[in-house]
Chains A and B, each alone.
Chain A
Amino acid sequence: MGSEHIVSSFDNDLAELNHMVARLGGLAEQQFAAAVEALETRNTSNIDAIVEADKQLDKLEFELNERAIEVIARRSPMAKDLRRIIVALRVAGNLERIGDYAKNIAKRSRVIIEHEKSLGDNVSIARIAGLTQQMINQVLDAYATGDAELAMDVWDRDMDVDQLHTSIFREVLEQIGADSERVSAGSQLLFVAKNIERIGDYATGIAEQIYFVKHGEFPSQTRPKADDSSSSAIDQS
């Protein structure tokens, strides 16, 4: 894709940035999977490790920022090269945020597990998490290969995540309404669902960036949005 610069060390710089993004992506994906697994298996033993591992993400993002600034200063990139570097920075930022949400899910899972030892009926959480994990996986593939169409496919699927989030929101509110014992765990679960939905948004954001690298402009339709949990919160009150 980009091995044709006359100054070939510039290609190496770009490849290195891509590699760093890939590593960040792998880490974020891992963190998210581990957090979801902790919740689903009611197993708190990994949670400290997840919280600790988030520092690696922060560190890697920081390093990527420094590298990108060096490359900009030394190479004065133009056109698609410039877009690629700016996008590497933004994607790294999104991945770091995904990591933060994963860490937050892990922390909240600990509270939920303490209150509810049994698995309960959190099937929908597994579904929204699975969907979102797929999106991240696919968007990272799209990033690695510069495949804007694959990225747009992820972009389209954000709507499903939003819809699912809305229904989880209603579901959990109903459960809390029916059983006041569930207030603590249920409210944590609301946050977990919201975090997952935000992770989906960040994956969607990455998809837009991939499209931008390819086309020099952002996808023209308005972003898919099917999340009306904020209005359903009002309905319920």
Chain B
Amino acid sequence: MLFTPEHEALRQTVRTLVEREINPYVDDWEAAELFPAHEVFKKLGQAGLLGVHKPVEHGGMGLDYSYATAMTEELGLIRCGAVPMAIGVQTDMATPALARYGSQELKREFLAPAIAGDAVACIGVSEPGAGSDVASIKTTARKNGGDYVIDGGKLWTTNGVQADWMCLLANTGEGPVHRNKTLICLPLKTKGVSVARKLKKIGMFASDTAQIHFDGVRVPQRYRVGEEGQGFVYQMQQFQEERLWGATSGLKAMEAVIEETIEYTRERKAFGQSILDNQVVHFRMAELQTEVEALRSLIYRAVEDYVGGADVTRLASMAKLKGGRLMREVADACLQYWGGMGYVWENRVSRFYRDGRLMSIGGGADEVMLQIICKLMGTLPSRRNR
């Protein structure tokens, strides 16, 4: 992939913003188990960073996806997983389908403020009874006059406590499970929406992960994204960006952990030499860095195809799978060489160990990625044959 001087300038702006507006506060936000999403998003919005790949008519920059990738990579320099994840939800998980299929009116009402950083968005797909198996969600949106009336609930909703609106996936008809769903923009201040609780997690502390209930929630039918019944298809498309985003955001985070581990083990002495001087240690670091570069190449290839207009489900799923696994490998290997210090709470490596673990679960678990890859390889047994 060819990066231009403008890509580099964009990276520099993201780095400076992260250094100045985010990293100094990360420890406090982690301790408070919440970060001020509106405040941070406004700063990103003012710098033009929440709509890199979004249409110009609604405040976006209209640039190709390689620019979004350059930005996502630099978000890996944020010293926790929670804040970049929240930004990724806004730019690459809750808004791609709206940008692509939403009506002009809908984009004015929901996309433009998300790009400006005036509104926080979230994505409501997973439910208590359906995570990996998206098709089996139970939330319904029934037509009533000119409205939809929504009942059910969502679980694991990132940004859910602070968000202004949700990109909601709900069943709008009876028919086959892949053709009965619709994406709807749901303002979360609407009557009947209740945030049941903020979940206590093993990592991603600064991120507000919510459980949300819907009880007779009314929204006008014009809040529907694109066509009725196409929600599942749109969501699967939207997952391409979510998964590319996930893999990309991990690159620099992994490199930072490798680098800090090298620095620490270079200083730390045992048996008359630095820990790093043991071949098993410096070889391991070289091996991990090699894996990161290989992943980066896979991602760049996927992005290049995506920019060219191709469906990249295959490569994006592979990148997400490899990314999740490599995060775990890097975290575990590096933490080990910090010894007792690695087991300490306030250590970047231990935070990465906890935060990074999510990558193999969220946005489709590793096994779901494998399922998709197998399907595309023609090796997934069909249900009838099982």
A and B associate in one complex: no
Interface residues of B (CB under 8 A from A): none
Interface positions of A (Cβ within 8 A of B): none
